[in-house]
Amino acid sequence: MDEKIQKKVAVWLNGNYDEATKEEIRKMQKDNPEDLVEAFYKDLEFGTGGLRGIMGVGTNRMNKYTVGMATQGYANYLKQVWGSDISVAIGHDSRNNSRSFAEITAHVFAANGIKVFLFESLRPTPELSFAIRHLGCKGGVVCTASHNPKEYNGYKAYWDDGAQMVSPHDKNTIKEVEKIASVDDVKWNGGDHLITLIGAEMDKAYLDMVQGLSIYPDVCKKQKDMKIVYTPIHGTGIMLVPDALKRYGFENVHIVAEQAKPDGNFPTVKYPNPEERETMSIGLAEAEQMNADILAGTDPDADRIAIGVKNHKGEWVLMNGNQTAMLAFNYMMEARKEKGIAQPNDMVIKTIVTTDMIDVIAKAKGVHCYNVLTGFKWISSLIKAKEGKEKYIIGGEESFGLMIGDQIRDKDAVSAVCILCEMAAYEREKGRSLFEKLIDLYVEYGFYKEHLVSITKKGMNGAAEIAKMMENSRNNPPKTIDGVKVKELLDYELQVGKNLDTGETWKIDIPKSNVLQYLMEDGSKVSARPSGTEPKIKYYFSVNTKLDKAENFDATEKILDAKIERIIRELGLD
């Protein structure tokens, strides 16, 4: 075993760690030395969003010690910036150990003289974002690993605007966390009188906000019998989504019973990710059996949303994140205009890897559409920069995230479920399904088809392999893809765009990020980026063509699917 790893193990065996932790380390030394290396070969990185990792003992794992040390560093930075009279809000999801991690976080903050508003039990992540703003907190934490497998947990850190931190606060917080060299540097207890439990009153304030987002409450009430099937996938959505839908006027809501109870083991699914058809399969089966109008599912911390609908053949399908976002963006722009509440300074925000069809729709409707890096902290940062000048309506990204209205600053599946169901009611009132609406939009604006390939590279060598893949894509861009000339290379790490024909370059006015995009002459696009939260590299593919009439949807989709398959094969990603 590497000498550095041996020293780290020795520190835990001889330091102020509990006996159960030391016993677990001794057991790994004897039975699973490879697991011990994985647990100690590095420190779990406090990135720009916080912590996320597998739970267990060790410096590279989510446990009470890594959580406590992270909180001490964050507390130190909050005190540097704000001085005294600081408050934070803390929430958690249904994952194993989430409550324990949230309480440890609360105690460390309180021991540092910081007032804490701790949710009395599990709550959706977006409510934590809302609470920070509502209570005037300087920061906040939610203990969640979002849609990751059950072995994972995480720690997301927020700033005073209710958004995850951006520069300079993210990097400065990381520096303070890195200064915490030992568990002995952590103030673990004392100050419990500074902890206040919150719950029902905050729920009401948040649900009032969600209800206020409705554009056509009268349509929802007319369509109150619309059949809605909802699954919280063993997560926090069960706490608020049913109440929110009831407030919107929907009376025919059916909860998927097998997945209704919060459970960190997620017993009915392999991954608690609503992006996966397998995860949504129980809900899809129930929706089909009931002949429902819409299926909605939220991930464990209720910030991601998936919907299922019947397609033009009467088959139940799961909308992908780009389709869901495009429908939601279009509804918010179209309905506001029809209602007479649209403003000349309305704006929408999407990420650079989300469908360009949204840009096309927004341009046609005269609404400003901005593109930012992946992550809702960048959407929130732009909202802040445009405050008082432009009116934010909706933001979103292809990975099943939407943020509607500006009273929260993170993706919110609770409000998204309500607005998407309102959208279904709006179309039902006009005598058509959501899928028929989707096809109508393709006919009007062009048929955009997207696909995502995620490649996982775990362990000690994973990061190096991903870095090598990005370096090769950066230094050796293809001249053609699928017989089509690659026109531009956009390198967000270098913040430079390049015309591959002329060699002309220009500055990309977006914060630095390790993302590459190939733009092709026919409007196709390939993007590559390492995930910020998982050991993955993600490749995004976007192609488009005209759809002359609804009847040609299937044939045109086959053409676009075949093109994506050829591109994936040519780039060696199949």
- Catalytic positions: 146
Which helix (H) or strand (E) segment holds residue 270: the answer is none
The Cα 441–Cα 456 span in angstroms is 34
Strand partners, 51: 155
**Phi, psi at 406, each rounded to 5°:** -105, 15
CB 297 within 8 A of CB 304: no
Separation of alpha carbons 385 and 371, rounded Å:
14
Q: Reduced to 3 states, what is the DSSP secondary structure of residue 511? A: coil
For residues 62 and 194, the answer to whether their CB atoms sit within 8 Å is no
Q: Tell me which DSSP letter residue 215 carries.
A: S
With 0-12 CB in 10 A as exposed, 13-18 as middle and 19+ as buried, what is 211? middle
Convert 544-570 to b/e letters by CB count within 10 Å (16 or more is b).
bbebeeeebbeebbeebeebbeebbee
Give the whole-angstrom CA distance, residue 306 versus residue 259.
15
Yes or no: say if 98 and 264 are a contact pair by the CB < 8 Å rule.
Answer: yes
Element (H, E) at 561: helix 553-570
Structure tokens at 15: 């330091």
CA distance 123 to 239: 7
Where do runs of H (alpha helix) occur along 15-51?
Answer: 19-31, 33-40
CB 145 within 8 A of CB 534: no
Full 3-state SS string of 63-108: CHHHHHHHHHHHHHHHHHHHCCCCEEEEEECCCCCHHHHHHHHHHH
